[in-house]
Amino acid sequence: MAIERSWCVVPAAGRGARFGADRPKQYVALAGRPLIEWTLDRLAATPCIAGIVVVLAAGDTGWRARERIGDTPLLTATGAGERSGSVLAGLRALPREVGDDAFVLVHDAARPCVRSDDIARLVEHGAAAGGGLLAAPVRDTLKRADGETRVAATEPREARWRALTPQLFRRGELVAALERAQAEGITITDESMAMERAGHRPLLVEGAESNIKVTTPADLALAEYLLSREWGMGNGEWGMGNGE
């Protein structure tokens, strides 16, 4: 089932504790602009994104939301103490015309280097599979701990994937899965986890490893390098940089 365009919820209500700045990390300067603006501009410039709901912390004055970014409508919602609660708030703030069967993307405000063509492939293949997420293969050997610092298992090479965002699911199914996990008191770290607990097997769509999440200051330096590589031949326009 080919879907034309999809709305995107952008959770941006975190505190950025691991980043350790004097403001939430989504507002720290990245190449001269607040990090969040790079992410939102990138999403707004992605043809398959119909609109954006950005989820901000209650009373947040770190960034003045606009009604549109270019031709892309921009709505706001108020976040919660946990990321999953912020995502739920964003899903509930979608326009009425986005029904339960509509596929919706969820993308971290903290991921400014996402590639538009990766999002397009996720929308195409993830929708056909009933839901999916961008993911990058992990090069290191992964160990599963037994709760202490002892090795419980080693993940085989073909099973090692790093979940990214965006993640794409049907609005109604994702709301139900997140509400169920919330009712069960389960901490949900990404949308796929809630959907897996509800019995779904989301499709892994390989995305560029440059789609990093800015969590610490070291990540910010890498994001600045990655963005600089995407500029065109000095003309100041976004290149078609392959991100490699």
Ligand X SMILES: C[C@](O)(CO)[C@H](O)COP(=O)(O)O
Ligand Y SMILES: Nc1ccn([C@@H]2O[C@H](COP(=O)(O)OP(=O)(O)OP(=O)(O)O)[C@@H](O)[C@H]2O)c(=O)n1
Q: Which residues contribute to the site for ligand Y (CB under 6 A)?
A: 11-19, 26, 55, 79-83, 86, 108-110, 213, 215
The number of beta carbons lying within 10 Å of the beta carbon of residue 100 is: 11
Report d(CA 131, CA 188) in Å as an integer. Answer: 17
Of 79, 29, 30, nearest to 228 by C-alpha is: 30
| Smallest separation, CB 59 to ligand Y (Å) | 14
Closest approach, Cβ 58 to ligand X, in A, equals: 19
**4/22 with CB nearer ligand Y:** 22
Q: Which residue is closest to ligand X by CB?
A: 190
187 part of the interface to ligand X, by CB under 6 A:
no
What are 30's two structure tokens? Answer: 């990245």
* Nearer to ligand Y among residue 73 and residue 85 (C-beta): 85
Q: Are 166 and 118 in contact (CB under 8 A)?
A: no
Nearest to 12 by CA among 92, 130, 107: 107
Q: Would you give the binding string for ligand X spanning residues 53-92, x where CB under 6 A is met?
A: ------------------------------x---------
Tokens representing residue 16 in the block: 């950025």
Point out which residues bind ligand X (CB under 6 A): 83, 108, 163-165, 189-190, 213, 215
